[in-house]
Amino acid sequence: MLNKVRPALGRVLTPVGRTIARTGVTPNAITIIGTAGVVAGALGFFPRGEFFWGVMLITAFVLFDMLDGAVARVTGKISKWGAFLDSTMDRVADAAIFSGVMIGLYRDGQEQLAGVALYCLVAGVVVSYAKARAEGLGYTCNVGIAERAERLIVILVATGLDGLGVPYVLAAALWVLAVLSTVTVGQRFATVRAQALADTDPRPAAPAPSPDAGRRRDRPSGNASGKAPEKAAGDAREGGAARAENGGRRRWHVRRLDSASEPRP
């Protein structure tokens, strides 16, 4: 849902990206530094129960990581490798955040809530993979009630408030994220399935005609001479009668010749 504010956010970050570009820092370096800071904050503070300070450090590096796109646009260094690196590092950062929360809750004796955090981690990976796989197949999958930005805001705000001593907020946020992530997976499955079914023609393809089919249709069914069966039979009868008559005449003529050749008494 927060994807709708990206154009406005891009206009805000572009001047900052132009300033950073003058220092010579590349977009890929920003991506790597931002991810390293998020991982350090999540795995360095959350497992020890220091949720608030961990969130502060993570937030700073998340904001810094958002500048890689602005720097790439300003410097013209937009590339497929940069897009791949950015997407992959986002998955690493998400895994570090939820893993840190899970370890911190488990050490605090909240095993059930730690299991919910683990479920949110797995569901988030499925949400991201479903979109990547759909786009790899040529489909669009820009749907979902809880995409990465929404999940990140909810978990960081709830974890920070828990670090300040606000009760139940982290537990409520994790359960809500678990439900919303599951719904998002279902939305993406349904969207891709609809597009895949639309690509499938339900009517079976007609069999290809045989090369001899036309000649068989054009050829009469009577005989090789091309005559109809009735006409061919009539011609055969007339021919037989004519041959019989000619044979009789020849025999009569022979008898006449034999009688003429006999001597008279």
Whether 201 is catalytic = no
Query: Of the listed 65, 68, 86, 90, which one is catalytic?
Result: 90
Contacts of 94 (CB under 8 A, 6+ apart): 121, 124, 125, 128, 148, 151, 152
Say which amino acid occupies 118.
L
In b/e form, how buried is each residue of 219-232, taking b as 16+ CB within 10 angstroms?
Answer: eeeeeeeeeeeeee
How is 40-106 classified by DSSP, letter by letter? Answer: HHHHHHGGGT-HHHHHHHHHHHHHHHTHHHHHHHHHT---HHHHHHHHHHHHHHHHHHHHHHHHHHH
Catalytic center residues:
90
